[in-house]
Chain A
């Protein structure tokens, strides 16, 4: 089980790796050296090239230029099978699991053939005990929480006895407590001589866990440091450059602000058999207030969004806007009543990938007489509207004719947020407003949301990013298995407390 004693020889050496996609230099001449027994952090913003680099190492993508040495020998992994045969394991950010298969079946698929299922299940139990990764081998993946799914991936890697384990943003789906457990496992693995390449942009956990850190920015290595002695502020600056972040929201809510939006005892059985049932959800929003809803992925966010946004109808009285029942209304009628809604999936839900920005601007604005009259599109007005969004929110490239799918995630999100904000809604519901968005754009989006609240709109922000919620929200609650905890003022909450709420021990205080 131990890595071969090859101190002095690097486990993995990467020199001058380059990869470009149409229009982007994703990785631009990166050098990286990983030693046995080391936990090495690869940090950088979304789009810095971390994922591309690691896909090249794992054989999922081919580099345009550069070379890789594995334990002293030059290699070129043409596919993941070759990388795994050499001793590289990878835990993906978006889990590479088959939803309808069981834990054992998922793991069996990654192993050479000819292993009896019963024996494999026993091995899985054995490993899960040894590394403290509790898991039932016979359950189907779709019934597991994201933390459990991650354990499946880790165990799947460990069964192949890898000498290099790559983890891509492993804590993005974990509660703070689950993350601590993961760190204990990772330290134990490193102590056995394995190398861990840990990809993240969360600096505190890198300080707590890693021996070395390589910082990537725009496809280049900008620095390499010891995270235990380097200040997070310095690392952050190297990672993103100078960003003027909005500071934490000072609670400026006036007590007499009118009630805008309320949800009373919302329950709904999931239409999708793999979905989550909503259980008795209640909350209310006053004008100018921002309520945050935390929760791990798959806790009922998409189901709640569908019910609030109007994609599915519920009993009329469970959702009220300005005291009018709107629960039974479809999306368009709710929009007309002043409820705007930004779903999580940008491409395909908030925007049509193959339409240009002018047409996409119209998607949620077609009821407004300014843009459409008597069924005829007003091309000029649409164009002007799209141009206004682009100018106000600094969308790049600033062309109304570019297709939505050509925009980066951050720019498309700015465009969508702009579209909804300019509609001047009474209530705005946003999911994952800055997911996959670089720090500069995230700051712009946060400022726009805060500005909207200032102007009297009630906002509901559903996000898995706790930092974001702490910056934006007046009050916070958490979803767990389709139920919502009581909302508490952000000033009275700690990260640990929210972590407990996300794990379903909401009202334990």
Chain B
């Protein structure tokens, strides 16, 4: 039983960075903005979080630094696409490339340095219970935060006026503007929240998942997060399922490698990506649902006079 519990804990850890980044992208896309810079924001978040935790010795300062780094990059993206009306796809790709380079530069002296891991919030007594203890009560702050934010986002998007405004802006910014909603403000907020969550996703990688800094350590998770949003048909709870599936497959392939299964490790490393996309494609075959949940104005620049 203890082995099962420790496997499940590891699955949650592998899923958390994806969930955070995908949730950020979902909120951004719901407002009609396509930000392809997730990978870049995650990397810069990861390296800034690591650097701050390394200098201060406190991983929580690192968490804050990761989120702020993501927001900074997202603000830059927002300036380009909302004010200067650049093409969102090109700008997002540029942001990813920029983030890869910038994070490598910042992290130059940090490769291989040790830092304290993000502390586990254990409750004495309860966390020591067999199975239930580690599974429910033995995680760090970001794991709980990612789950709480997912359910919160689901409630807000489906149940509140704020969520209605967000969906309306993503569906048709021109109509929303005609009704007197502030399209720019909604889109800006969504982009910044998206940046913060991507930054947190990156921070989780360098502070908790593998407490160290390595160049390009996100290894494509930003793109998987993007796929999660699309195949999760823009719904937080489906995305949660997808992220945990990815976590499970990551772990499964590690164990398969460890067991010496006669399949080249390169193929096993592909498994989580392939399986996640396959399952999500199967889940999202319902065209009606996609049409009703996808933001219709995704990726289109909005200008009130045009």
Which A positions have Cβ atoms within 8 angstroms of B? 60-61, 79-81, 84, 92, 96-101, 105, 108-110, 113-114, 140, 272-274
Contacts and interface: CB of A to CB of B under 8 A. Distances in A.
B97 to A, nearest CB: 28
Among A97, A98, A101, max chain B CB count under 10 A is at A98
Contacts of A113: 161
Contacts of A96: 172, 174-175, 178-179
B171 A110 contact: no
Interface stretch (B34-42, B102-110, B251-259, B285-293): B285-293
B164 A109 contact: yes
A193 B296 CA distance: 39
Given A108-B161, A274-B291, A101 B178 contact: no
B260 interface: no
Nearest 3 CB-CB pairings of A with B: A81-B180, A273-B288, A96-B175
B287 A97 contact: no
Nearest to B287: A273
B171 A98 contact: yes
A84 B180 contact: yes
Contacts of A80: 177-180
B168 A272 contact: no
A92 B165 CA distance: 20
B168 A79 contact: no
Chain A facing B: main interface SS? loop
Contact of B171 (A92, A99, A273): A99
Nearest to B176: A109
B181 interface: yes
Chain B facing A: main interface SS? helix
B305 interface: yes
What's the interface size class on B, roughly?
Answer: 20 to 34
Contacts of A109: 164-165, 168, 176, 179, 181
A472 B171 CA distance: 39
A113 B179 CA distance: 13
A60 B172 CA distance: 15
Nearest to B177: A80
Contact of A98 (B161, B168, B291): B168
A98 B292 contact: no
Contacts of A274: 291
B305 A61 contact: yes
B235 interface: no
Nearest to A90: B178
B117 interface: no
A100 B291 CA distance: 8
Contacts of B171: 98-101
Given A105-B164, A109-B164, A273-B288, A79 B180 contact: yes
Given A61-B305, A273-B291, A101 B164 contact: yes
Interface string B262-306: 000000000000000000000000011001110010000000110
B291 A60 contact: no
A383 B178 CA distance: 43
Interface string B207-235: 00000000000000000000000000000
B167 interface: yes
Interface in B147-172: 161, 164-165, 167-168, 171-172
B291 A272 contact: yes
Nearest to A58: B178
Contacts of A98: 167-168, 171-172, 175
B85 to A, nearest CB: 17
Contacts of B293: 100
Nearest to B167: A101
Contacts of A97: 175
B164 A108 contact: yes
A105 B158 CA distance: 11
Nearest to B178: A96
A110 B179 contact: yes
B287 A99 contact: no
Contacts of B175: 96-98
A99 B164 contact: no
B306 to A, nearest CB: 11
Nearest to A60: B178
Nearest to A110: B179
Contacts of B168: 98, 101, 109
Nearest to B180: A81
Nearest to B293: A100
A97 B171 CA distance: 10
A106 to B, nearest CB: 8
Given A80-B177, A140-B292, 4 more contacts: A80-B178, A96-B174, A101-B171, A113-B161
Contacts of A60: 178, 304
Contact of A110 (B180, B288, B296, B305): B180
13 contacts: A81-B180, A84-B180, A92-B178, A98-B168, A98-B172, A100-B293, A108-B164, A109-B168, A109-B181, A110-B179, A114-B161, A273-B288, A274-B291
A138 to B, nearest CB: 15
Nearest to A98: B171
Nearest to A271: B287
A105 B171 CA distance: 13
A79 B179 CA distance: 9
Contacts of B174: 96
Nearest to A100: B292
Among B164, B179, B292, B305, max chain A CB count under 10 A is at B179
Contacts of B296: 99-100
Contacts of B180: 79-81, 84, 110
Contacts of A100: 167, 171, 291-293, 296
Contacts of B176: 109
B184 to A, nearest CB: 11
Among B165, B180, B291, max chain A CB count under 10 A is at B180
A375 B287 CA distance: 38
A105 B167 CA distance: 11
A101 B176 CA distance: 13
Contacts of B291: 100, 272-274
Contacts of B287: 272-273
Contacts of A105: 164
Nearest to B162: A113
A101 B164 CA distance: 9
A274 B291 CA distance: 8
A101 B165 CA distance: 11
B172 to A, nearest CB: 6
A394 B115 CA distance: 77
A98 B167 CA distance: 9
A405 to B, nearest CB: 12
A349 B28 CA distance: 30
A81 to B, nearest CB: 3
Contacts of A110: 179-180
A272 B167 CA distance: 20
